[in-house]
Amino acid sequence: MYRLKPFGVLNGREVPLIELFNDKCAVELLPYGAAVRAIRVPDRTDKLTDICLGYDELESYRTLDACFGGTIGRCANRIGGARFTIDGRGYRVTANEGENCLHGGNEGFHKKLWEFTCEENAVTFSYTSPDGEEGFPGAVRVEVTYRLIDNQLTIAYKAAAAEQSTVVNLTNHTYFNLGGHSSGTVEDHVLTLRASRYTPMDSGNIPVGTLAPVEGTPLDFRTPAAFGSRLHDKAFNGGRGYDHNYALDGGEGPVAELWCPATGIGLEMTTSMEGMQLYTAGWLTERKGKGGAVYGQAHGVCLETQHFPNAVNCPAFPSPILRKGETLQQWTAFRFFAR
């Protein structure tokens, strides 16, 4: 089931909050950024708990950084040097992180007001990115469908390049905190990740085009491990925690499990994508969140399924180029549980 509630006004247009709900859990969505605002699931005592970070007002989504819950595009993550070549033609896109392009430029898809349609248990958001937006070639029609069935939220992406080949890499930027959105750091969270390799980066967080084993590094979560002190250890990523892309191992079944021992809440993630950026909010500055909560560094975990960062400039990586006349279809699903 679904229902709409007033949330804000942007440029004279009403921006509602759209809630999908059933007898197991509920998800709140926003047309601004095609974003997830809240996810409420039962803990081990059946208490409903909101497990993602968000804001109480539209203005915070519009003006603040961090991309809370948003759909990221046209190209998620980083493009080194904010430039790439398709079929021998070079393109310059917006450099909004030093010399690099991050999350689509100054106003990526998470800063757009999307159209939407509702079904009984799903919401589909749609947006047409015009030719030249943030420097990206060709118009692209994008649809993102959130579907809630029982205790599983599925996010399905669809994109079509009608007239010109371009780069498309979509993801969702929900910050999970399975202890509850206002519960502080995620140091106690336990992650299991079916990924034996990652993409090494240069000093600007740009992958160099190769894969390396996680074995023997703090990146190894092939067996369950708590984040613990690694989120603040100066010897690991300067005390910023995780902001690393993994090459997911193939095969059936979940590729990731995240679990909080305090509440018993967990999630299993499956996806059609080959990569996942693990981000533990090391650059999240202190700010006011939902219900007066104060968020800060390491208060959330992002599991961003996507093409590898800078893949358009790394021939050995799966290509993020969407060819003229082709349609991209990808999906990620989260199944919530308590134990």
What is the rounded CA–CA span in Å between residue 271 and residue 306?
Answer: 9
What is the rounded CA–CA span in Å between residue 54 and residue 69?
Answer: 7
List, by residue number, the catalytic residues.
173, 304
SS3 content of the chain, % helix, strand, coil (to 5): 10, 45, 50
Helices (H), the chain: 58-63
313's torsion region: left (phi>0), alpha (psi -120 to 50) or beta? alpha
* Positive or negative: CA dihedral 45, 48, 301, 283: negative
CA distances to 26, 261, 284, 334, 338 from 268, in Å: 17, 15, 24, 6, 11
What is the rounded CA–CA span in Å between residue 166 and residue 179?
Answer: 40
* Positive or negative: CA dihedral 84, 201, 271, 101: negative
